Structure formats: C-alpha cells, structure tokens
Amino acid sequence: MKKKSKLIFIACDTSNLNQVKKIISHTKNDELKIIPKFGLQFFYSKNGRQFLKNIKRDFWLDIKISDIPQTALSAIESLKDLKKCKYITVHASGGLEMLKVVKRKVKKINKNIKILGVTILTSLNNKSLKEIGYTDNVDKIVLKQTNLIVKSGCDGVVCSAKEAKLLRKKYKNLFIVTPGIRLPGDNKNDQSRVVTPHDALVKNKVSGIVIGRSLILGNIKKNIRRLIDNLNQ
C-alpha cells in the first residue's frame, strides 16, 4: 500500500497548547500524510480557537455540529475565519435538512472544506443504542445514516472500521474515515468498536483513519514508527 495515498488524522485530544504544538511538530513525517484533528476539548480551551485561526497547517475541526438547521448554519458562519480548516463534522442525527443546509453554506464560504457526516459514535454498541431508544442494531443504523449523508451531498462519512467494510460494498467511491483505531496491544479505553490501522486501511479499504492515544501517549516519534510498521505488515 502506498502510505501517502491514505490519510492519517491525528486526534489532538488535549486542552494543553504546548502539548498540541508538540504533537504537530513530532508528527511531521515524509512517509505518511498526517493531518491534525481538533475536537471540542481543544476548540473550547482558553487558547484553542485563536491557535486554529493562525495555524499554518491544514486541519480537521471535529465539533460534530447537531442542531436545528438555522442554528447549525450560524455555527458554520462563525467558523469562516479558520482559513486552514479543511474538514468539519456534522452529526447525521441532525437530519437530512440540517445536513443539506450546512453543505450549501460551506460551499459558499469555502468550497475546499469537506463536510463529514458522523454516524454512530465508536463508544457505543448495540446495548448502548437500546438504552437510548434505538431499536435497530449498529450496522442498520449506520447504513441508514450514511444514506442520508450521501443524499444530502456531504463529502464523506465517519464510522467505525467494522461498519466501513459494510459501507464500502455499497458505496465504492465514498470518502470514509474511521476513528477508534488502536495499534496492536494498546488499550481500547472508552472505544467499543476498534481495529488496527492496517485492518482499517487495507482490509476494510477506508479512505482515512483517526488515531489519537496510540500515537500521542508516550514517545510520539516511536509511536509513528510503530504505525508505519503496522501498515507495512
């Protein structure tokens, strides 16, 4: 596999600005295409938004917008000064109309931004879904939500690698990104549906992966080498 052809999104899950700078610096690599991903923790931190306004590197803003269409529009409008933002997430659970209006708004602001629809969070399993009122299993819900995401015109979908294999059979060219990625032997922590980078990118044929704790905890450069070794197996 040509590693540069696949996207590696590194989850900068911290509110510590110095730690974020370290992650960005230590994950520059000639063998992999690595893009930092920032979630709510960093975006809401004291210096987070200002840092993202001035950053010189393309990034993914993973804030999973989910609200009534007008409020979602306002949220997108407020992000237009983040010039290096290349990906923004919205929740499929916000519904078809919300997905459509967000996509239309983003095209007007910056046509280079990709809107990724988030399906079922990787921290949830079938038992969790029943507890919050869903009657279908994970696979069925993810498939239904992906149909909505595609219908809305959004640019891609976020789902676990296990459902990605199912989606790839139906959508041959869909941009699929999978979180819940762990290097072999690492702790699953709060993720229920996890796979290795190799299994996600090679076996399940996803477009990109999100990997956080397996890379940013401990020696980042050594962990990058572990990632490369796993992809080379």
Identity of the residue numbered 54: N
DSSP label at 109?
H
User: Does 64 qualify as catalytic in the annotation?
Assistant: yes
H/E element, 156: strand 156-158
What dihedral do alpha carbons 183, 161, 171, 95 form, nearest 10°?
-130
Q: Identify the sign of the CA torsion 116, 121, 126, 130.
A: negative
Q: Which of 6, 64, 105, 162 is catalytic?
A: 64
Nearest to 6 by CA among 174, 212, 160, 206: 206
**Which three-class secondary structure state does DSSP give residue 16?**
coil
Q: Which residues form the catalytic set?
A: 64
